[in-house]
Amino acid sequence: MRLAVFASGSGSNFEAITKAAKSGMINGSVEVLICDKQNAYALKRAEKLGVPAYVFQAKEFESKAAFESAILKKLEENQIELIILAGYMRLVGGTLLSAFEGRILNIHPSLLPAFPGLDAVGQAMDAGVKVTGVTVHYVDAGMDTGPIIAQEPLKIYSGDKKEVVQKKIQQVEHQLYPEVIQYVIEELSGRV
Ligand code: GRF
């Protein structure tokens, strides 16, 4: 299956997914990286991994629909079948949602519906919860609200620094996301 990853920042999940696809763990290939930030580190990773990357900056378009139509054109040119959001810091709008209905995934660093939105790890630690985790879900028009596909819990021990929890969360993400992507690919291919 032909995949597009969308990222705005570091792109560590993008790298993990691309490597999983290259190793055959995911029955698909990351054909393009779509990035909305010119200076995102994800772009450097794309270069190293040999994945074509395209930057679309929302401010250069007159509307969200125009912005997403430009992205959609690139996705169609590359015959993309599944969109993987990985640290894409933008709500997906109607143009992409209707073109890719049921074919957009996101990963979020909490056990949704707890702690949606920005800095989910910080939110969890401020709330004093002892278990947080990672969620992979289908994307709808809301913020971190689509149907949940999989979750993995992670314990927070007293005295854990935020950086430590953040690092453990990322390790969980890099393991979980490729597994769930492979599951969804099998499901979409009608083999489950
Ligand atoms: C991840 O924690 C992901 O759950 C959230 O944004 C972060 C992206 O990290 N949506 P990276 O850019 O993949 O390193």
| Ligand 1 center–CA 11 separation, angstroms | 7
pLDDT for position 54? 98
What is the tens place of the pLDDT at every residue in 119-176?
Answer: 999 999 999 999 999 999 999 999 999 999 999 999 999 899 999 999 999 999 999 9
- Dihedral sign of CA atoms 176, 178, 181, 187 in order: negative
Chain mean pLDDT for the chain: 97
Binning pLDDT at 50, 70 and 90, where does residue 191 land? low
Cβ neighbours for 99, distance < 8 A, ≥ 6 positions apart: 72, 75
Q: Rounded mean pLDDT of 40-63?
A: 98
Whether residue 87 has its Cβ less than 6 Å from ligand 1: yes
| Cα 162 to Cα 165: distance, rounded to the nearest angstrom | 5
Given a contact cutoff of 8 angstroms between Cβ atoms, the answer to whether 139 and 116 are in contact is: no
Q: Rounded mean pLDDT of 76-92?
A: 97
pLDDT for position 192? 59
Annotated binding residues: 11-13, 64, 89-92, 106
Fold of 2-188: Rossmann fold (3.40.50)
User: Which among 89, 27, 28 has a CA at the least distance from the CA of 58?
Assistant: 89
pLDDT for position 124? 97
**Model confidence at 62: pLDDT above 70:** yes
pLDDT for position 40? 98
Given a contact cutoff of 8 angstroms between Cβ atoms, the answer to whether 45 and 15 are in contact is: yes
| Residues that are catalytic | 108
Whether residue 37 has its Cβ less than 6 Å from ligand 1: no
Binning pLDDT at 50, 70 and 90, where does residue 48 land? very high
Whether residue 9 has its Cβ less than 6 Å from ligand 1: yes
Identify the weakest region by mean pLDDT among 7-11, 107-111, 188-192: 188-192
Annotated binding residues for (6R)-10-formyltetrahydrofolate: 64, 89-92, 106
User: What three-state secondary structure class fits 2?
Assistant: strand
Which contiguous run of DSSP H or E holds residue 71? helix 64-77
pLDDT for position 190? 86
Q: Report the residue among 14, 30, 105, 107 best suited for mutation to probe ligand 1: largest number of ligand atoms under 8 A from its CB.
A: 107
Return the structure tokens found at 112.
Answer: 């949704």
The torsion defined by the Cα of 180, 181, 183 and 186, in degrees rounded to 10, comes to 180
DSSP string covering 3-56: EEEEESS--HHHHHHHHHHHHTSSSSEEEEEEES-TT-HHHHHHHHHT--EEE-
Return the structure tokens found at 92.
Answer: 């997906």
Q: Rounded mean pLDDT of 103-117?
A: 98
